[in-house]
Amino acid sequence: MKMKAQLLLMPLLTLSGFFTAAQQKVKLVTVDPGHFHAALVQKTMYPEVDSTVHVYAEKGNDLQLHLDRIKGYNSRADQPTKWNEVVYEGKDFFQKMINDRKGNVVVLAGNNQLKTSYILNAVQNGFHVFADKPMVINKDGFEQLKKAFEISKQKKLQLYDIMTERYEITTMLQRELSMDPSVFGTLEKGSPDNPSVTKESVHHFYKYVSGSVLTRPAWFFDVTQEGEGIVDVTTHLVDLIQWECFPEKIIDYKKNIKILDAKSWNTLMTKDEFKLVTKEKEIPSYLQSNINNDGNLQVLCNGAFTYTINGVHAKVSVIWNYKAPEGTGDTHYSLMRGTKSSLIIRQGKEENFKPTLYVVGSADQAFEQSLHASIQKINLKFPGVSLKRNSKGWEVIIPDQYKESHETHFARVTEKYLEYLKNNNMPSWEVPNMIAKYYTTTAARALANKGK
């Protein structure tokens, strides 16, 4: 297995004089950037963020790909960025980062094997942390994360994960409509066989990012380093269930969450497919045990589970295929079933693989009037949103100006995080709900692996 830098027990430092957002600029420190999400944080520049970013990592392909992406943003014709990347390469990169103290916000998006340890050690040493999902990939990591949040509270640090899907317009409007009892009613409780909330997504190993075919690091296909599918992308889906179904409500994982059923399964890749998407000449030794008798690589990247949250039955499912058919891409399905209507996001062939929101309710005039009145209220926030009736119900017509890419959503999350840094105004529900979210994913993983 690829060896990562070993973490030392770092001395605890006080926050005094270290960072106050009102007094100085935010200075990013990127640590071990093995995932392209680390670069996407810097696809946009921010007035309050220093243009010099210090990067700490081992020398290798992960680091070079990250720097190449930043260079691409700096050299693009349309709104080029002006980042200055100052790089330290070495096996002691994490200890060096702590000792140098060149920044005040640690950005983490990469190999997940030690990510939770990085988070904990960073906050112990007085750094704010802006981390890509997942923050944890197993129950041991969950206990570390809880400790990290306790320390963050004591030191008045902002520890936050990057939940881009809250900024997808169809999801935002699904949430808005669900909060209107005249249209949605109240959320059904559902049952294990018929959950009232469903979130499903399909992803692909071979995909385009920033106009180029994405190179995946080889370790991405090792679930001990990346995490199993049931604890990875599901983080977004569980987050959306909490955020939409119980807006601005604190979720207590000890009282409000119960995992009912969970399973995980493999996606198979040929050796040629692996080499194409990783640019590796051979499959690394740490993946050899995952090669089956037919010579294909088995990746435990698919997962599904059902659970209750505040008594509401929910289902989450994530599937990874190798490559999407031509003209398609990653897809998302979302159902919220209320007593008066169902709110459904589809992204299939009929929608041209674009997320589309439908309202399915009564055909009577009273419901139609309530729905139009609700859309008028929504227009105060999102002018131009309208309705069109079709065979699937009422389609919510969304102007193109609100349809931002997944990559653009990173700027939205970063702007929100910078607001929290500046004003120390993170909502009281965010931290307990992050804890509840990671309890849900890691408990589902444990149940799926029980007896394996």
Q: Which residues contact 16 (CB under 8 A, 6 or more apart)?
A: none
Assess whether 315 and 349 both reside in one domain: yes
Question: What pLDDT, on the 0 to 100 scale, is given for residue 18?
Answer: 47
- Among the candidates 112, 130, 161, a domain finishes at 161
Assess whether 136 and 239 both reside in one domain: no
CA distance 107 to 376: 40
The total of structural domains in the chain comes to 2
Assess whether 171 and 315 both reside in one domain: yes
Assess whether 203 and 147 both reside in one domain: no
Domain membership flag for residue 441: no
Question: What pLDDT, on the 0 to 100 scale, is given for residue 23?
Answer: 55
Question: What pLDDT, on the 0 to 100 scale, is given for residue 13?
Answer: 40
Assess whether 77 and 206 both reside in one domain: no
CA distance 269 to 9: 39
Assess whether 122 and 187 both reside in one domain: no
Residue 196 domain boundaries:
166-407
The CATH number that applies at residue 252 is 3.30.360.10
Q: What is the pLDDT of residues 220-276, one digit of tens each?
A: 999 999 999 999 999 999 999 999 999 999 999 999 999 999 999 999 999 999 999
Angle at CA of residue 239, ends 356 and 200, nearest 5°: 45
Assess whether 39 and 102 both reside in one domain: yes
Q: How confident is the model at residue 353 (pLDDT cuts 50, 70, 90)?
A: confident
Chain mean pLDDT for the chain: 93
Q: Give yes or no for a cis peptide into 80 (omega within 30° of 0).
A: no
Assess whether 156 and 172 both reside in one domain: no
The whole-number average pLDDT for the span 193-200 is: 98
Helix (H, G, I), strand (E, B) or coil at 429: coil
Counting every residue, how long is the chain?
452
CA distance 60 to 6: 17
Assess whether 380 and 301 both reside in one domain: yes
Domain membership flag for residue 414: no
Q: What crossing angle do the helices spanning 430-449 and 139-155 adopt, rounded to 10°?
A: 170
The whole-number average pLDDT for the span 271-292 is: 95
Question: What pLDDT, on the 0 to 100 scale, is given for residue 329?
Answer: 75
Q: What is the pLDDT of residues 114-133, one digit of tens each?
A: 999 999 999 999 999 999 99
CA count, 13 A, side-chain hemisphere, 367: 15
Question: What pLDDT, on the 0 to 100 scale, is given for residue 2?
Answer: 44
Phi, psi values for residue 258, rounded to 5°: -140, 120
Assess whether 333 and 261 both reside in one domain: yes
Assess whether 218 and 139 both reside in one domain: no
> Does the pLDDT of residue 96 top 90, yes or no?
yes
The H or E element spanning position 124 is helix 115-124
The CATH number that applies at residue 157 is 3.40.50.720
- Among the candidates 389, 407, 425, a domain finishes at 407
Q: Which residues contact 209 (CB under 8 A, 6 or more apart)?
A: 36, 407
> Does the pLDDT of residue 190 top 50, yes or no?
yes
Question: What pLDDT, on the 0 to 100 scale, is given for residue 10?
Answer: 44
pTM of the model: 0.93
Angle at CA of residue 315, ends 265 and 193, nearest 5°: 100
Question: What pLDDT, on the 0 to 100 scale, is given for residue 403?
Answer: 95
Assess whether 145 and 269 both reside in one domain: no
Question: What pLDDT, on the 0 to 100 scale, is given for residue 20?
Answer: 52
Domain membership flag for residue 11: no
CA distance 60 to 92: 14
